Structure 1
């Protein structure tokens, strides 16, 4: 099947979900793709599509990072659903370091939990510049005062780790209700509110497009008959098909040629700073390249 071409019409921003296990990060990710696809196009993703890696299913907790995309009125977003379990913090570090902003998911029924705090601290340490809060599962809380209490706790926690707790947008809703198409305030409208908060609160990042090309390698795959693909986020510069690039690291530096650039399984004319891309390298063996 011929691959669709990626149309770059809106500014591109990288975000991701963080928060305590079972507070609804993956459900919210599914709700964002589903609701926004109705209004702005794009592909709706089910919970199971996002939570798909086999070892995640075995324990019912998210281990790997899943990448999805969606559009809002103003932007195209790449969204990482981050690992939620304490053991997988190291994986979050590789995922979260790539975010222009994070969506902190907190269950209104439970309030902030140990990993809520841990992920805020991690976000601070790996340099996530902005956090937007989605208070999930508001349908499970009858008392509006309780909701206010949870919001205050979350704001205090953010301030404690040097985020502007008083200014951070806090959206109350139910990701599950939104997924089911519920039109009450906590259903679909809460997702549109969240999208608006992302658009307005997270500034469009300045991309280092004019600098020399640099791509830290996150993963390496081999595709039979095509060669080796490296994936990661372009930190600086631009990469185009036909460019000669160098693989630099622990081993002697090698030169190779880029034979393809893709984003979200769509072909790109060029990858530029800020894009999460796959780059096909001519004549490079899988074992010649490693993560990092």
Structure 2
């Protein structure tokens, strides 16, 4: 069975992300005939002589009218070697929040750079987001290589520039491929138009990169969504003793007999049953939503967590981390916010802002506020303790959201720990 790889696109506006994604879908024969016919029809209506493959991903009417990507478009395709889930993210700076969303679960970020323009501010921002989100691999697609003179020298310079920035941010695994998304050069097959390039095509490279460590290899964590006691249990002898806790295994594996600890109470107990609908399972791995039955009566409710008894995360009210600020208003010390970790949401106050990332120098500069699309270090104090882990150890356990309590809008994506 082919392995699964999750990838996300990133880059500045008009670098050709949607065209590249469309080319990947088209050349891997992942486009239905009626979809391709519709794209060809729209392209002809625009006076184009060939199908505009960007239309395969720019599905919103506003996107098609403006010729840009606004939403994160998820697409699925496969080769004989591997299956792919691809998030085509927008390039405009005001949609950086969408790039954070699309990259948060990615194994690979495909970063497009226009060969004519080189490294731009948005390139640096997307590399910084990639580094903060601990995405294992970065592939730099130097696009529109067919439009520059001395393409070999241009590709070499852009590759050096991107690798330099990636190195400063701590990204160890960065690859570069010269491509033309419009013509299909080095997208699926190596191109004769770049005889000076001896490396693999973009797809060939993606087929060889290893995915992230599987979540089921991490310590067991289970987020409680609901305590289940069937209605009428007191009158129905079949359910009189039934009490379960429904939720999702966010990491690790749980089996019957697994000793666990309930957080935040700290009570210890043992899993005696795992139910999936009417079926009983011997074990459940990360990603599976099940109902757990416990040996003891434990005080658990929505937002609580069950964890492996031999690997219990510390509870803390002092949260230090990095925020990608997505709000339209400034964030300042003293602001009151909500912090959502897994399924639990608690009030919090911003104790300090320890600086923001300067995208030109890639250094953290002093700042007493964060504005839209800033990346900064903050200290938060939550009203009640949370089992937040270092993001470098666990992407699921270290990720959190910051919510505006006034309107309920998400205003920041956070990563716990020091980058």
Q: Which range, TM-score by smaller chain?
A: 0.5 to 0.7
Structure 1 or 2, whichever has the larger Rg, is 2
* C-alpha contact (below 8 Å) 1:72/1:195 kept by paired residues: no
Q: CA deviation at 1:186?
A: 5.0
3-state SS of 1:155 partner: helix
Instruction: Output aligned runs, 1:148-159, within 5 Å.
Output: 148-159=156-167
* C-alpha contact (below 8 Å) 2:10/2:112 kept by paired residues: yes
Q: Determine whether 1:43 maps to 2:8.
A: no
3-state SS of 1:26 partner: helix
Residue 193 of structure 1 is aligned with which of 178, 198, 201? 201
* C-alpha contact (below 8 Å) 1:138/1:186 kept by paired residues: no
CA distance in 2, matches of 1:15, 1:203: 12
Instruction: Output aligned runs, 1:106-145, within 5 Å.
Output: 106-143=113-150, 144-145=152-153
Instruction: Output aligned runs, 1:172-251, within 5 Å.
Output: 172-178=178-184, 184-185=191-192, 193-200=201-208, 202-209=209-216, 211=220, 235-236=250-251, 237-239=286-288, 243-244=290-291, 248=303, 249=343
TM-score by length of 1: 0.64
Question: For the structure 1 residues 80 and 181, does the alpha-carbon distance in structure 2 shift closer, same or farther, using more than 3 Å as the test?
Answer: closer
Q: CA deviation at 1:28?
A: 0.8
CA distance in 1, matches of 2:73, 2:249: 18
**2:394: which partner in 1?**
none
Using CA pairs under 8 Å that are at least 6 residues apart, name the structure with larger relative contact order, 1 or 2: 1
Q: Determine whether 1:168 maps to 2:171.
A: no
Instruction: Output aligned runs, 1:19-38, within 5 Å.
Output: 19-37=11-29
Q: Which has the higher strand share?
A: 2
**1:16: which partner in 2?**
8
3-state SS of 1:142 partner: coil
- Residue-by-residue CA offset, 1:257-282 (whole Å, 9 max, x unaligned): xxxxxxxxxxxxxxxxxxxxxxxxxx
Residue 83 of structure 2 is aligned with which of 76, 89, 113? 76
**1:283: which partner in 2?**
none
Question: For the structure 1 residues 85 and 214, does the alpha-carbon distance in structure 2 shift closer, same or farther, using more than 3 Å as the test?
Answer: farther
Gaps of 5+ in 1: 1-8, 217-232, 252-289
TM-score by length of 2: 0.46
CA distance in 2, matches of 1:49, 1:108: 24
* C-alpha contact (below 8 Å) 2:224/2:302 kept by paired residues: no
RMSD over equivalenced CA pairs, Å = 3.7
Q: CA deviation at 1:17?
A: 0.7
Q: CA deviation at 1:125?
A: 1.4
Question: For the structure 1 residues 183 and 131, does the alpha-carbon distance in structure 2 shift closer, same or farther, using more than 3 Å as the test?
Answer: closer
CA distance in 2, matches of 1:186, 1:29: 20
CA distance in 2, matches of 1:177, 1:51: 19
* C-alpha contact (below 8 Å) 1:36/1:192 kept by paired residues: no
Q: CA deviation at 1:11?
A: 1.2
Question: For the structure 1 residues 72 and 186, does the alpha-carbon distance in structure 2 shift closer, same or farther, using more than 3 Å as the test?
Answer: farther
3-state SS of 1:76 partner: strand
Question: For the structure 1 residues 10 and 157, does the alpha-carbon distance in structure 2 shift closer, same or farther, using more than 3 Å as the test?
Answer: same
Question: For the structure 1 residues 74 and 149, does the alpha-carbon distance in structure 2 shift closer, same or farther, using more than 3 Å as the test?
Answer: same
Question: For the structure 1 residues 207 and 183, does the alpha-carbon distance in structure 2 shift closer, same or farther, using more than 3 Å as the test?
Answer: closer
* C-alpha contact (below 8 Å) 2:24/2:188 kept by paired residues: no
* C-alpha contact (below 8 Å) 2:250/2:287 kept by paired residues: no
**2:60: which partner in 1?**
53
- Residue-by-residue CA offset, 1:31-75 (whole Å, 9 max, x unaligned): 1111122xxxx3367421301123333443211100111223421
**1:100: which partner in 2?**
107
